[in-house]
Structure 1
Amino acid sequence: MRLTCLRGRAPLALTCLLLLVASCRGSLSCASGGAQAPTGPRVYVSNEESNDISVIDPSTDQVVATVFVGKRPRGLRLSPDGKTLYVAVSGSPRAPPGVDESTLPPPDRSADGIALVDVATLELVKTLESGNDPETFDITPDGKHLFVSNEDAALASVVELASGRVTRTVPVGREPEGVTTRPDGRAVYVTSEQDSQVFVLDTSSHEVVARIPTGDRPRSVAFTPDSTRAYIAAEFGRTITVADAREHRVLTTIPIEPASARPMGTALSPDGRTLYVTHGRGKSLSFIDIASNQVVRTVEDVGTRPWGIGVSPDGRKLYTANGPSNDVAVIDAQSGAVLKRIRVGTLPWGIAVAR
């Protein structure tokens, strides 16, 4: 937007100023000396097809900024100190279900990496090595290492944050996807979609120390805050595998209904009492009571293929990334009512919440 204002004409100058302020709302280009991120909690959404991150203010449930990060952003996490947003970006072409992958263009490996966004300025700082086609990852609580799933290569890469380099690669089964660090920082769980297992990596030795069988096509993992239990969502199995996270063994399996459900993303309530599970193409959402391992509520019509999920810092609202409809659903955690749908970028995938 270009404005031409004449000196000495106060009414016109005031009008121009008001127009300029209006045009800058939500824009990163209008702050002098670099953009400043709004203060307070924020919800970050990765938009796989528009190559950017939408920043949502949970107090108003409006998008307040958009940040370019690179090709195909999917998994995203905040650093332990909350100052940096890490985002997995990939040069591999999208391959939706039913697509003949032999017809796709070759991958752009120069685009693979973990992008770093400064939360204070909302600026893309740099991109770290990650191995091929990073999809998701997690950070050790000490902030020293990332563990990254390399979907195309059937590997997990260990990235040393101090150097920004991959220091180790570990075979973890075909099509690794979900990566979650146990809260105590001693183990990392990596799901293998094709092998229907979780590979457990020791964070000190970087070796596989156990394998946990799951339902068909495991997608994500959530741990209880005390590191004693893991909940593993299996898309095609329509189950949640509950595992002893100390001994890495299956305790029980929770079936997920309705029949259309495809368990995808998982998130725990701040009090650790409720597990929330998105259902992908099932367009719904489960509430699971941790004490009983029972589904206590199913919310229908959450959105079109909800995948990523996050919980507001006060635990009152849930946010789901609904890819095909390019929006984020805001759900009341007490009633299950869908309060609002927020337009974001194209093909929203993952969600991270700053507290």
Structure 2
Amino acid sequence: MINSKKLLIMAITAAVLLSGCAMETKQEAAERLHSKVGATGETAINGQAAAGKLTSIEFYVPSEKTNSLSVIDVVSSKVVGNIPLSEAPSTVIFSSTMREAYAANMNSSTISFINTQTLKVVKEVPVGPMPHGMVLSPDNRMLYVAAVASQFIYLVDTKEGKEAGTIDLGTGAKTNYLALIGEKLYVSDHENHKVYVVNVKTKELQMTIPTGKTPRAIKLSDDGKKLYVPTAGDNTLEVYNTADGKQLSKISVAAGATDVVVMDDGLNAIVTSTEGSTVSFVDLQSGKVVKTITDLAGAKHIAFNRQQTKAYVTLSGTDQVAVIDTVTQQVVEQIKVGAQPHGIQLKALPGIGGSC
């Protein structure tokens, strides 16, 4: 029989494993911050570059004009790595293991395969014209790529390292950003003002959702029941029921609405506006903007840290990433990266890092 002491130890262990960000103590984080800096300027931990450690918690930011990808350490807010890419990289995503990253190079019409341990591009795969938005299948095997100048979604087999077919959305369609849940792939069409819903197994179009003008970086709720659509042409954040494609709400935000992140509680969202150079905090229940941060030149894409206490926004007009405290709703820091930063994604293994 398990005694009470053993039960307590087991409970504590389970809590640590489930808490995600609780596995690195404050003392360990402080020691990491005060570790030595190597000759290249990268923070060193036990003699290794922080940017290449699998357990390090970082943001990857592709920059269009410098054809490079900046690696930002979350704790120190320092650029700890730089990866040369092909022409005009726009977005980047990670495999679930965080060992691989994939960057879309618009002007090269290729996808760069990146080893996140060595910070090296290991392969470059040609796809359609101007690849932009990307999503990865849950098993990490299939990469779905939207090409801004094409009617196709391009499929890339990550194991074989080559294109593995297309999904045709029809003559005149333009693909931009993607969201995937189960077998349903959502595709924004910024020129025709709609979102397509495609079955990735059958490659058939299941539904077309008319939206406001110029839908951009669409997002899904965790349960897949709601679709969030920033519309740059109408300056709104639109919310749709994914079951029937009907609009649930339409919220006015700043000009050029671009990207959105939704808090875990589903009650609040943050919207970037590239043309308006703003970030809007939105109350989804009341359908109103509660706070707008201005003077964020070219505020483009946005990502949370794991605890959602900070939001990181690429500023394509200032070559920086703005760090926003989500509680005070204020910019607390700006980090210099490559010229004209575009997308941004967090690299952090599940269960690693108290500072994330």
> Which of the residues 340, 344, 349 maps onto 1:347?
340
- Secondary structure at the aligned position of 1:188 is classed as strand
The alignment's C-alpha RMSD in Å is 2.4
Equivalent in the alignment of 1:168 = 166
Distance 1:180 1:61, change over 3 A: same
- Secondary structure at the aligned position of 2:89 is classed as coil
CA contact (8 A) 2:258 2:272 kept: yes
Q: Report the CA distance between 1:271 and its aligned residue.
A: 4.6
Q: What is the alpha-carbon distance in structure 2 between the residues aligned to residue 84 and residue 215 of structure 1?
A: 35
CA contact (8 A) 1:130 1:166 kept: no
User: Where do 1:1-355 residues align within 5 Å?
Assistant: 23-26=39-42, 36-37=52-53, 39-91=55-107, 111-163=108-160, 164-171=162-169, 173-182=172-181, 185-257=182-254, 261-301=255-295, 303-355=296-348
Equivalent in the alignment of 1:108 = none
- Secondary structure at the aligned position of 2:69 is classed as strand
- Secondary structure at the aligned position of 2:140 is classed as coil
Equivalent in the alignment of 1:5 = none
Q: What is the alpha-carbon distance in structure 1 between the residues aligned to residue 266 and residue 75 of structure 2?
A: 23
CA contact (8 A) 2:63 2:341 kept: yes
Distance 1:36 1:160, change over 3 A: closer
Partner amino acid, structure 1, of 2:211:
T
Partner amino acid, structure 2, of 1:296:
V
Partner amino acid, structure 1, of 2:245:
H
Q: What is the alpha-carbon distance in structure 2 between the residues aligned to residue 197 and residue 21 of structure 1?
A: 49
Partner amino acid, structure 2, of 1:277:
V
- Secondary structure at the aligned position of 1:148 is classed as strand
TM-score, normalised with respect to structure 2: 0.80
Q: What is the alpha-carbon distance in structure 2 between the residues aligned to residue 82 and residue 23 of structure 1?
A: 26
Q: What is the alpha-carbon distance in structure 2 between the residues aligned to residue 57 and residue 167 of structure 1?
A: 36
- Secondary structure at the aligned position of 1:153 is classed as coil
Q: Report the CA distance between 1:129 and its aligned residue.
A: 3.4
Q: Percent identity?
A: 25
CA contact (8 A) 2:104 2:131 kept: yes
Q: What is the alpha-carbon distance in structure 2 between the residues aligned to residue 79 and residue 275 of structure 1?
A: 25
Equivalent in the alignment of 1:15 = none
CA contact (8 A) 2:90 2:105 kept: yes
| Equivalent residue pairs, number | 309
Q: What is the alpha-carbon distance in structure 1 between the residues aligned to residue 134 and residue 215 of structure 2?
A: 15
- Secondary structure at the aligned position of 2:317 is classed as helix
- Secondary structure at the aligned position of 2:275 is classed as helix
TM-score, normalised with respect to structure 1: 0.81
Q: What is the alpha-carbon distance in structure 1 between the residues aligned to residue 105 and residue 306 of structure 2?
A: 26
CA contact (8 A) 1:37 1:122 kept: no
Q: What is the alpha-carbon distance in structure 1 between the residues aligned to residue 38 and residue 122 of structure 2?
A: 28
CA contact (8 A) 1:225 1:272 kept: no
Q: What is the alpha-carbon distance in structure 1 between the residues aligned to residue 174 and residue 188 of structure 2?
A: 8
Distance 1:141 1:288, change over 3 A: farther
Q: What is the alpha-carbon distance in structure 1 between the residues aligned to residue 48 and residue 187 of structure 2?
A: 43
Q: What is the alpha-carbon distance in structure 2 between the residues aligned to residue 123 and residue 271 of structure 1?
A: 37
Q: Report the CA distance between 1:121 and its aligned residue.
A: 1.9
Q: Report the CA distance between 1:220 and its aligned residue.
A: 1.1
- Secondary structure at the aligned position of 2:133 is classed as strand
Q: Report the CA distance between 1:292 and its aligned residue.
A: 4.4
CA contact (8 A) 2:152 2:166 kept: no
Q: Mark the runs of 5 or more structure 1 residues left unpaired by the alignment.
A: 1-19, 92-110
Q: Mark the runs of 5 or more structure 2 residues left unpaired by the alignment.
A: 1-35, 349-356
CA contact (8 A) 1:213 1:250 kept: no
CA contact (8 A) 1:322 1:347 kept: yes
Q: What is the alpha-carbon distance in structure 2 between the residues aligned to residue 76 and residue 129 of structure 1?
A: 16
CA contact (8 A) 2:54 2:99 kept: no
- Secondary structure at the aligned position of 2:328 is classed as coil
Distance 1:42 1:21, change over 3 A: closer
Q: What is the alpha-carbon distance in structure 1 between the residues aligned to residue 48 and residue 54 of structure 2?
A: 15
CA contact (8 A) 2:299 2:316 kept: yes
Q: Report the CA distance between 1:80 and its aligned residue.
A: 2.1
